[in-house]
Amino acid sequence: MIKITPRKLLPIVLLAFSYTAFTFEPVPTKTLLLAYLENDLELQNLTLAAQKAELSLEYTKVSNGFDITLNSGNVVLTLNDDGSKLTASPSLEVEVPQASGLTLTAETDLTYKSETAAFSNTSLSAQLDLISTGTLSRKVTLLKSERALTQARRNLQNRAHEAENAFYTELKSLLSSIKYS
């Protein structure tokens, strides 16, 4: 005789047996464990938290990385009887915060007329912070984000172990409660 209490109903549902026409095959314990873990809500929440922490770390890396700005400036095309003339004022700026706030800038005026290009007012500049608090704050932000990811992964692993232990405890309890007459 098998005694079934409401508390033990969930493990019995998980301990499903598949029947075929001629054989009786129990579901492997590993399959039951995987189904148990897939249905653990806390484990699902911690999985989402770990994914969120990973995305946050990627965002932090991108937002604290380097920045390139390419600007076309004013572009003017003039058409007249003498031919066409194209003038532009492009600029390029590269910021590398990891290198003590290094900023490189290049600007020029370009004139293109009758297959002849001329550059004027060309300037190159470099800026470097001698004492940069930004570098340290970026490192701290990145370390905090990495720490949050490590903690989220650790919480996920701990919960997976707890859920696995709970599964085997419930399975043991269920199997020990079965009495054959």
Three-state SS for the chain is CECCCHHHHHHHHHCCEEECCCCEEECCHHHHHHHHHHCCHHHHHHHHHHHHHHHHHHHHHHHCCCEEEEECCCEEEEEECCEEEEEECCEEEEEECCCCCEEEEEEEEEEEECCEEEEEEEEEEEECCCCCHHHHHHHHHHHHHHHHHHHHHHHHHHHHHHHHHHHHHHHHHHHHHECCC
- The predicted-structure confidence for 15-67, as pLDDT tens digits, reads as follows 454 444 445 677 888 988 888 899 999 999 999 999 999 999 999 888 877 78
Give pLDDT, residue 159. 95
Selected residue with higher pLDDT from 180 and 134? 134
Using one digit for the tens of pLDDT, what is the confidence trace for 63-97? 877 788 888 888 888 887 777 888 888 888 888 87
Q: Where are the domains of the chain?
A: 6-62+134-177, 66-132
Lowest mean pLDDT among 34-43, 130-139, 165-174: 130-139
Is there a contact between 18 and 28 (Cβ–Cβ < 8 Å)? no
